[in-house]
Structure 1
Amino acid sequence: MAVWFTSDTHFGDRRALNIDRRPYPDLAAHDAGLIANWNERVAPEDTIWHLGDVAVGPSDARIAEIVGVLNGVKHLIVGNNDGPGTLALRDWASVDHYAEIDVEGRRLVLCHYAFRTWNGIGRGALNLHGHSHGKLTPAPRQYDVGVDVHACVPVRLDQILASRRRKKPAEPSP
């Protein structure tokens, strides 16, 4: 069973197409694409942490329909656009504004917002966040897990860490 992370799916939000320049021709394709990307990666028994801003605009019934078809044991870290209908869904295994978890021997501090400092920063804890849609300069031990940073797909911790590893320069040819 894998542990996945995502944020800022903004299902039903027309602004995601224009402001965030997502690669979909219309909102229906956007929502269908994000659902397909999620379900292609996340197995029903996997754990997934959604770090906020699930949907903006659709009715509570439509949000429930979308979240209901998404694979995984779903945890929500509340974002600024998550309304009462989203928070009340029975599909969430948990709903919190903040969480500290351990994954693959790493301490992770989860919040919708990027922190300047966080619990355990001096002991190697990582801050995973959303909200900024890839527009913040990355800070050490801090990672934006939003779909705008990760090609509209959920990501695992190893993928998050690899996203910032420096590539070694190529060896000169003899």
Structure 2
Amino acid sequence: MTVFFTSDTHFGHGGARGRFRRPFETTAAMDAAMAANWNAVVGPDDEVWHLGDFALHLAADAMAERLRGLNGVKHLVAGNNDGPATLALPGWASVRHYAELTLDGTALVLCHYPFRTWNGMHRKALNLHGHSHGQLKGLPRQIDVGVDVWNFRPVTLAELAAPRRRARQAATPAP
């Protein structure tokens, strides 16, 4: 089992294409590419921590269908655009506003929002977050896991720690 992190997919949110300069012709193309990119790296038994803003402007049944179509065991750390319908989706293994976990010996503090300080920051704990869409200069050991930073797909801790961290790449088209 591999553990992945992502945030700010904004499935169904046409405004995300312009506001965050996403390179997709339509919202449907954006959603399809992100789902294909997700499923290309995440297997059915892998774990994904989605750090908020899963979808916007989608009906509950459409959100449920989108979530059901994404591989992995999915946890939601709620974001500012995750309303009651998103939080209640049956496809989440867990829903919370904050989480701490240790992965491969690394302490992680997970929240939708970037922190100024966080538990264990002086003991090398990482703050993984979303919300800023790659537009905020992070602090040391603070990483934006949003799709706008990571080729519109979930990423592993090893990828997050790699030297080329935070380099925005061109979107991978859906197969």
* Pairwise TM-score range, normalised by the shorter structure: over 0.9
Paired residues for 1:88-167 under 5 Å: 88-162=88-162, 163-164=164-165
Partner residue, 2:71:
71
- 2:159/2:165 contact within 8 Å kept: no
Question: Offset of 1:21 from its aligned partner?
Answer: 1.2
The 8 Å contact of residues 45 and 72 in structure 2, kept in 1 or not, is answered as yes
Q: Distance in 1 between matches of 2:23 and 2:43?
A: 24
CA deviations over 1:45-70 (Å, ceiling 9, x no partner): 00000000000101111001100110
Identity of aligned residues (%): 59
Provide the aligned length of Structure 1 versus Structure 2.
165
Q: Distance in 1 between matches of 2:151 and 2:165?
A: 15
Deviations 1:76-132 (A, max 9, x none): 000000011110011111000000011111000000000000001111100000000
Give the Cα–Cα distance (whole angstroms) in 2 for the partners of residues 164 and 131 of structure 1: 17
Letter in structure 2 aligned against 1:5 = F
5+ residue gaps, structure 1, are 166-174
- TM-score, with normalisation over the residues of structure 2? 0.92
- TM-score with structure 1 setting the length: 0.93
Q: Which has the larger radius of gyration?
A: 1
1:20 is aligned to 20
User: Structure 2: which 5+ runs fail to align?
Assistant: 167-175
Give 1:138 deviation, angstroms.
2.1
**Which letter does structure 2 place at the counterpart of 1:25?**
E
The CA RMSD over aligned residues, in Å, is 1.0
Aligned to 2:54: 54
> 2: CA distance between counterparts of 1:20 and 1:71?
25
Q: CA deviation at 1:151?
A: 1.1
Q: Deviation string for 1:136-169 (max 9, x for gaps)? A: 012100000000001111100010111339xxxx
